[in-house]
Structure 1
Amino acid sequence: MLPALQSCPRHLLVCEKSSFLQEKSRYSAQVETHYYNCAVSFLLPECGHLPEKLKSAVDGFGNYYLVKNLPLHEFIKKKFRDTFVSKGLFYALSYNARIDQDNVAALLPTGKLILSVDKDTYEELGLQGKPSLYSGKMIMRYIVSIDLTDEALSPDGKKFARIKWAFTEKKPLTFDFLLAWDSGDASTIKSYFSTYIVKECQPKITSVISKDLLCPVLRSRELHGKQGECCSSVELFEWLGAISNDINCNNHASNFVSSFCCPEPNTVIEKAYLCTITGFITPGKILKLLQLLREYFHEPKLSHWVSLMVHGFADSPVSWREGEHGFFKGGDNLYNFVIFNNEDYWLQMAAGTHDCCPP
């Protein structure tokens, strides 16, 4: 067997439990600082149709924009910074660029412009940066960070002139960008970039209703499970991944094709509703959805928990906050909330081999 196949690549799964009612709960910050999300799905056990409030929220997720061949120098212009950056919560991510092979870029809602570039591009740009954390002995990738809110970046300053020269003359870089804005009228993006090809995009919504589903037994206080009594957070995380990908869990340990089974103890639920939204999804929209899932239990329900899983872009240069994200073999960068009817929650955060540890 090849050495690369003899062991699984390192991965990280951080699990924690808390309560939404706890003053020091970090759930809001965890959502807000995971900037770039390509999919969000929620599972409602013992539910056969989507409640009206959740349906309205899903249908009202709003549009985002794809701008073709957008030069990086557009982001450093004073007009752009005054229009979008100074008002906050503007998101931009390079599209159809692979972080393990290409140059990628992202504009964070904090105003930081992050570039992950190969060695040749870095040397041609002539801007200050740092080696990627995952370069190994041969440094082949660099990270460049530019704070667009920096007062030193005035149009008549040397710093601005240097960056403008790098982006317009020394090494002009253009990307297809996904853009979204939560602090103002998102349609402003279309008018501002009217000289480029701008496509207005809508999130894709799919739903699946499963019947007679084997479902793990959970207890909000037992994060690590209790043998014979309830399922652990790690076991649930794997099971949710299988359900999200429509993988049959009604197997036996001796099954040749798949031995993956629903964790024990488990119970059969009559039905379960899984809704998935894919697109360029901002943290603000996820927080609103999370709040509605908490309110879901304001009326009595047969199930005492629901889940909300969020997947980050595999080729984003960051995962949480400004933590460097890399692809390697999987590009994992996701998190999941298990929301209980007593306002307790479990938070599971997963990252791949080339990722900083989730906060």
Structure 2
Amino acid sequence: MSAELEKTARSLLVCEKSSFQDEKCRLSAQVEQHYFNHKVSLLLPGCGSAPPLLDRALSSFSSFYLIRELPLHELLDTHFLHAAVYQGSVYGLSYRTRIDEDNSFALLPNGRLVLSLDKDSYELLGVAGKPSACSPRAAGRYVVSVDLTDSSMAPGGRGYQRLLTGLKSRVRLQTDFLLSHHPAGGEALQRLLSRFDWSERSPEVGRRRLADLPCPAPPTSDPQSCDPHSFLEWLGAVEAEASCNDDSTGFLSTYVCPEPRTLPSQTLRYTVTGLLLPQDIYRLIEELRRSLDGAEPSWSALTVHGFADSPVSWGNREHGFLKGGENFYSLLLFHNQNYRLYMGTGANDGCPP
């Protein structure tokens, strides 16, 4: 067996427990730093119908735009910088680019432009960067990170002109691009959009009622409750629509819900997919908190999946694909306002906040 096969890829899972009533609660900042989200899954065990305000929050996520074949130097357009980047939070991500094989790009809401480039493109661009920490080959990829709000990147300045010249003359980077803006929305983007082939997209909301779904006792301080890894594995099985009722004496591929467990008569599962802004996700969390004041459900689980091929995971931290592009967090909420947060990233990523 080769040395590579003998090694098990490191997995990084950070677990945190706190309460919304704790003045040191960091959840809002943690959610806001996970910039590029493509799917939210919400599980409500023992719940037959969602409260109207929660249902409204699920269907009120901000729309976003898909721009076809956007030349990257257009993100340095003076009007775009002043109308969008300097006046709010822009979320931009190259669409259907593979972080381990293609050139990939992201425009962060803090005004930072991140380019994940192959060696040839990096050398042609002529802008200082650093070797990727997530590349399997030494010096195989490079990351260029530029703060567009810094005074050195002001239009007409030396740094600005160097990057603009590199993108327009030395290496013409072009990609389909997902773009959203908070809080102005499309108003701040209209002049840029008007020059290209674009379409407006609304996040898709799915709803499914699951009958007789076995649910483990969620992880708490009770030693009889399910451990975090087993609970997350169960959430993954529900997400993949795998059966949780199989007998453990059956085939090797069977799965059994961890003990101890309950069997609610019905469970609601919601999904929202698209380019999902952190602000909309946190608004959903706030509505979920309020819905837990009643008797049912006594707990709920919300999982947010980041784009597997995003150049960043949390904040400015570099993200790599390696085995599966892990880039997610799961929030387990209880009716007493306590919560548990599980944050997972790829094997070579930095530690979540």
TM range (shorter): over 0.9
- Give, in angstroms, the shift of residue 76 of structure 1: 1.6
Using the alignment, how far apart are the partners of 1:310 and 1:158 within structure 2? Answer: 40
- Give, in angstroms, the shift of residue 192 of structure 1: 3.2
Residues 1:347 and 2:332 aligned together: no
Given candidates 250, 257, 282, the residue that maps to 1:255 is 250
Residues 1:356 and 2:350 aligned together: yes
Deviations 1:38-80 (A, max 9, x none): 1001101111222211121122213110001111111122211
- Give, in angstroms, the shift of residue 191 of structure 1: 4.4
Q: How many residues align?
A: 353
Given candidates 319, 324, 328, the residue that maps to 1:330 is 324
Distance 1:165 1:219, change over 3 A: closer
RMSD: 1.6
1:31-180 → structure 2 map (5 Å cutoff): 31-135=31-135, 138-180=138-180
**Corresponding residue of 2:295:** 301
- Give, in angstroms, the shift of residue 273 of structure 1: 0.2
Given candidates 232, 256, 273, the residue that maps to 1:278 is 273
Question: Contact (CA 8 Å) 1:42, 1:276: kept in 2 or not?
Answer: yes
Given candidates 298, 312, 315, the residue that maps to 2:306 is 312
- Give, in angstroms, the shift of residue 248 of structure 1: 0.7
Paired letter, 1:258? S
Using the alignment, how far apart are the partners of 1:137 and 1:306 within structure 2? Answer: 42
Q: What TM-score do the two structures reach when normalised by structure 2?
A: 0.96
Question: Contact (CA 8 Å) 1:39, 1:276: kept in 2 or not?
Answer: yes
Using the alignment, how far apart are the partners of 1:135 and 1:312 within structure 2? Answer: 19
Distance 1:255 1:5, change over 3 A: farther
- Give, in angstroms, the shift of residue 115 of structure 1: 0.4
3-state SS, counterpart of residue 127 of structure 1: coil
Question: Contact (CA 8 Å) 1:65, 1:189: kept in 2 or not?
Answer: no
Paired letter, 2:153? L
Q: Which moved more, 1:311-320 or 1:176-185?
A: 176-185
3-state SS, counterpart of residue 84 of structure 1: helix
Question: Contact (CA 8 Å) 1:113, 1:147: kept in 2 or not?
Answer: yes
- Give, in angstroms, the shift of residue 88 of structure 1: 2.1
Q: What TM-score do the two structures reach when normalised by structure 1?
A: 0.94
Paired letter, 1:344? N
Using the alignment, how far apart are the partners of 1:51 and 1:258 within structure 2? Answer: 37
* Structure 1 stretches of at least 4 aligned residues deviating more than 6 Å after TM superposition: none
Q: Which moved more, 1:190-199 or 1:14-23?
A: 190-199
Deviations 1:100-123 (A, max 9, x none): 100000000000000000001000
- Give, in angstroms, the shift of residue 303 of structure 1: 3.1
Using the alignment, how far apart are the partners of 1:356 and 1:83 within structure 2? Answer: 32
Using the alignment, how far apart are the partners of 1:125 and 1:191 within structure 2? Answer: 26
